[in-house]
Amino acid sequence: MARYIIRRLLQMVVTFIGATFVVYALMFANQNDPIQALAGDRPVSDNVRQVLTEQYHLNDPFVVQYGYYMRGLLTGDFGKTLTGRPIGDVMSDAWPNTIKLALLALFFATLFGIGAGLVAGLRRGSAFDNTTLALTLVVVGLPIIVLAPIAQLVFGVKLGWFPTTAGARPSLYGLILPALVLGAASTATMLRLTRASVAENVRADYVRTARAKGLSARRVVAVHVLRNSMIPVITLIGVDLGTLMAGAIITEGVFNIPGVGSKLLLGIQTEDGPLVVGFVSVLVVVFLVTNLLVDLLYAVLDPRIRYE
């Protein structure tokens, strides 16, 4: 197990360097004039341009710029945005909102996806099974940019169950509707995956053996069927956590949530390379750590899995 963890950590380091290099190249290699993009239509004086150029090493070769960035990143210094604000301060304001939104969305997706998928898998071919499959197709077919305004109109304006916008300091209640919208596609995918896995495992030989031994139906489902069906679902949950954080741009924009998505969108629009690369670097770490934890959970769910 220790050797496996060390090997995975080395793979994570290589992946992190490669991912940050690609993102840094996309943001800086073909950048036209980030200083003018930040200023908009206003003229930029030569003195201001010279100071910003030296501060962000814009005249240095691309590889040298990346080296400066990695040196600061490894020491915990994310640098400053093109407006002069420390990126660490921007992250401290944005990340708590996005983390709460993503975790709440993942909670709803796991609760409804696994719960409904389990029932649908055990009652394959029933009215409930057919209805949930049809609903998941509708949800998957609707992009968030369409689903979010519809949910806002129906549940926020017409019914008045939830606030239409979360505001600058969103409460947990104010994040429920955005979380349901953000996790809708994950809920549908998790439901279909759980259903297929349960329907396959319920006909397995070990399940028939457990029933033949006289185990109760609840124990057979909880210990044998559900536990073995969770391995592919756990993989999806691990991937979804990072995906929900990265994919919250539209949801945060519609519901006015000052999170990572809105900051990334602002950074892309203003060509603020340090801001975009800083947030993406943290997202890469989230992806890598989450997938490592998922791999370790495999051995807990299935004792046959051993990492040598």
Q: Do 227 and 152 belong to one domain?
A: yes
- Last residue within a domain, chosen from 23, 39, 74: 74
Residues 116 and 235 in one domain: yes
d(CA 125, CA 135): 15
For residues 92 and 82, what is the distance between their CA atoms, to the nearest angstrom?
18
The pLDDT value recorded for residue 34 is 62
Judge whether residue 28 has pLDDT over 70: no
Give the domain extent around 23.
2-74
Find where tokens 């690369």 sit: 277
Domain identity same for 218 and 254: yes
Partner residues linked to 80 by β-bridges: 86
Write down the pTM of the prediction. 0.74
Q: Are residues 106 and 185 in the same domain?
A: yes
In a domain, 30, yes or no: yes
**Distance set, CA 64 to CA 15, 71, 222 (Å):** 20, 11, 56
Residue pLDDT, tens place only, 159-200: 888 888 877 777 888 888 888 888 888 888 888 888 888 887
Number of structural domains in the chain: 2
Supply the pLDDT for residue 305. Answer: 57
Same domain, 228 and 131: yes
Query: Would 259 be classed as within a structural domain?
Result: yes
Q: What's the CATH code of the domain at 198?
A: 1.10.3720.10
In a domain, 307, yes or no: no
Residues 15 and 126 in one domain: no
155 and 236 part of one domain = yes
